[in-house]
Structure 1
Amino acid sequence: MPMIDLYVTEGLLAEPQVVARRLAEIVMGVEQVPDIPMFRKNTAAFVHELPSGAIRNVDGDHDHVRIQVLTNAGALDRAKQIVVVEQLTEAVAKAAGDPTLVDRTWVLLTEAAEGGWGLWGHAHTNDELVGAARAEIAKLGGA
């Protein structure tokens, strides 16, 4: 149930809401979690449109994108890390209509500490999240 933060310069994306949904779909798909409401309702992307000039590298370039993905501990093994970075980068470049943006997109993969995934007003451990998912699947009839 990752949270994705996308930081772009204002106006880079014609339809930020479409991009947000696409990024959430990508991460959920790469994680290979069950397609249940618990995951669908709690996998989200937030688009942060920053004013012109708010992004700069050491050389003063301002045409970069930053994507930060926060997952629970161990959600992405090395193979999934590689795939999710590639797919997120390509999705943003496509949405911006600029294939060269892949060279200027930074992706940060971070994990919440064990017990540090807050959902439904509770700080969950990974085991608790797995248990909640299994309970939901059982209620849905083994979906």
Structure 2
Amino acid sequence: MPMIDIYAAAGTFGDPHQLAIDAAATVKSVEQVPDIPMFRKNTAAFVHELPSGAAANVDGDGNYVRVQVLTNAGALDRDKQLAVVRQLTDLVAKAAGDPTLTNRTWVLLTEAAPGGWGLWGHAHTNDEIVGAARAEIAKLRQ
């Protein structure tokens, strides 16, 4: 149930809402989690449009995109890490209509600490998240 934050200068993306949907769907797909409401409703992306000049590298260039993906611990093995970085980088460039943006997109992968995944008003451990998913799957099969 990743949370994805995409930061870019205002106007970078023609349709930020569609980018948010596509980013959430991309990470959910790479994660290969069951297509259950728990994951569909709690995998989300947020597109943050920054004012001009609010971001820069050492040289002052501000035409970068930063994508941060927060997952529960162990959600992305090495193959999934590679896939999510590649796919999100390509998605961002496509959404911006700028293929060169692949060279200026930073993707950060972060795992929540045990107990650091707050959902439904509770700080979940990874085992609790897995247990909740199994319980939902069992209910759907009844």
What range is the shorter-chain TM-score in? over 0.9
Question: TM-score, normalized by length of structure 1?
Answer: 0.98
Taking the aligned partners of 1:77 and 1:114, their CA distance within structure 2 comes to 17
Q: Which runs of 5+ in 2 are unaligned?
A: none
Which residue identity lines up with residue 53 of structure 1 in the other structure? Answer: G
Q: Which amino acid aligns with 2:55?
A: I
Distance 2:127 2:112 in 1: 14
Write out aligned runs for 1:18-33 (5 A): 18-33=18-33
Deviation at 1:115, TM superposition (A): 1.3
Q: Corresponding residue for 2:82? A: 82
Pair 1:16-2:16 in alignment? yes
**In angstroms, what is the RMSD of aligned CA positions?**
0.8
Residue 86 of structure 1 aligns to a residue in which SS? helix
Matched residue, 1:106: 106
Name segments (4+ residues, structure 1) moved above 4 Å: none
**Partner secondary structure for residue 11 of structure 1:** coil
CA distance in 2, matches of 1:58, 1:101: 18
TM-score (norm 2): 0.98
Deviation at 1:101, TM superposition (A): 0.1
Is the partner of 1:140 in helix, strand or coil? helix
Q: Take 1:56 and 1:130, find their aligned partners in 2: how far apart are those partners?
A: 39
Question: How far 1:22 sits from its partner (Å)?
Answer: 0.3
Residue of structure 1 equivalent to 2:131: 131
**Structure 1 stretches lacking a partner, 5+ long:** none
SS in 1 for 2:42: coil
- Count how many residue pairs are aligned between Structure 1 and Structure 2: 142
Shift of 1:2: 0.5
> Whole-Å Cα distance in 2 between the matches of residues 130 and 105 of structure 1?
31
Question: Can you list the C-alpha shifts for 1:40-73, whole angstroms capped at 9, x where unaligned?
Answer: 0000001100011111000111110000000001
**What is the aligned partner in structure 2 of residue 45 from structure 1?**
45
Q: Secondary structure at the match of 1:68?
A: strand
